[in-house]
Amino acid sequence: MTAEQNVLSLTNIHKAFGGVVAIQDFSLDLKAGEVVALVGDNGAGKSTLIKIVSGVYTPTSGSIELDGEEASFSDASSARSNGIEVVYQDLALADQQPVFMNMFLGRELTKPPFGLLDKDRMRRESQELVDELDVRIPSASSTISQLSGGQRQGIAIARATHWASKLILLDEPTAALGVAETARVEDLIENLKKKNLAILIISHSLDQVFRLSDRICVLRRGQQIGIRETAKTDKNKIVSMITGVA
């Protein structure tokens, strides 16, 4: 391998639910600062793969390495504590809570001596974070339900950025968004590359995939069809890989 170490190495990952094979012999390496897109038709196994990496599912066989070390996650919390964050398509945000509480959901900051919530600090740090990523929201105290879909996804991505030290998984982050909002979120993802995080993104939009990714990995019915460098391929080739029609 190169001198640059892989952030994530998946080797011969296999996942079966009972007799149904969802993922067959999947291998992929991800480097820091790299965006890899996972494409394929519905049911190809993209979401299953994301769930394996994020600790929701354990693979039937195969190995996951993080920074060159064998990792096995018993649940989503342990993947999270290893620096892996997921941004879901349906936005895992609590709508009636303010932005800053969502930013720190499950990891709220407290202050001594009584261990009460440090709302001021959470508000301040959230504000800094959304400013840094240029997520335009009225304030860190706004309630999520007052925000647009794009702003919400911005918050979800900002949250993932804040907590991820290694890897961010994006599961169709713009599926629910309009054109302008999608563009905003894509800008955000571009920004994440500069933070030297590895990014794995699922998307149904090939235009988006070609705009954002460094490499494209194609899945079809649980099988890994191939990995291509985005700069050295074109849409027609990827489409024929996805559909299996030459």
Partner 1 sequence: MTRVTSRLNGLDFQQAVVYFGFLAIFLFFAVTLYDDGFLTQRNLTNIVLQTAPATIMAVGLVFALSAGEIDLSFGSIVAVSALSCAVILQDYPLPLGVAVGLGVGMGIGAFNGVLIAYLKLPSFLVTLATMGLFAGIARSMTDLRSIPVMNDTFTGIFGSGKLFSVPSLVIWTVIGVAVGHLIYRHTRFGAHVLATGDNPRAAQVSGIKVPRVRLYVMMICGGCAGLAGLLYAGRLQAAKYTLGESDLMTVIAAVIVGGTALNGGKGSVIGALLGSLLMGMLNNGLILMNLKVSDQMIVRGLIILVAVALSLRDSNR
Residues in touch with partner 1 (CB under 8 A): 76-77, 80, 86, 88, 91-98, 101-102, 105-108, 110, 115-117, 119, 138-139, 141-143
| Smallest separation (angstroms) from partner 1 to the CB of 191 | 23
| Smallest separation (angstroms) from partner 1 to the CB of 124 | 11
| Smallest separation (angstroms) from partner 1 to the CB of 33 | 26
Using the Cα atoms of residue 15, residue 21, residue 23 and residue 27 in order, give the sign of their dihedral: positive
Q: 98: cis peptide before it, omega within 30°?
A: no
| Smallest separation (angstroms) from partner 1 to the CB of 138 | 8
Of the pair 2, 96, the CB lying nearest partner 1 is at 96
Of the pair 107, 136, the CB lying nearest partner 1 is at 107
Of the pair 109, 239, the CB lying nearest partner 1 is at 109
44, 23 in Cβ contact below 8 A? Answer: no
Of the pair 124, 235, the CB lying nearest partner 1 is at 124
**Strand positions, DSSP E, the chain:** 6-17, 20-31, 35-39, 61-66, 69-71, 84-87, 110-111, 116-117, 167-171, 198-202, 215-220, 223-229
30, 193 in Cβ contact below 8 A? Answer: no
| Smallest separation (angstroms) from partner 1 to the CB of 128 | 14
Of the pair 120, 190, the CB lying nearest partner 1 is at 120
Rounded alpha-carbon distances, angstroms, from residue 162 to 3, 168, 198? 27, 10, 14
Q: Chain centroid to CA 115: how far?
A: 32
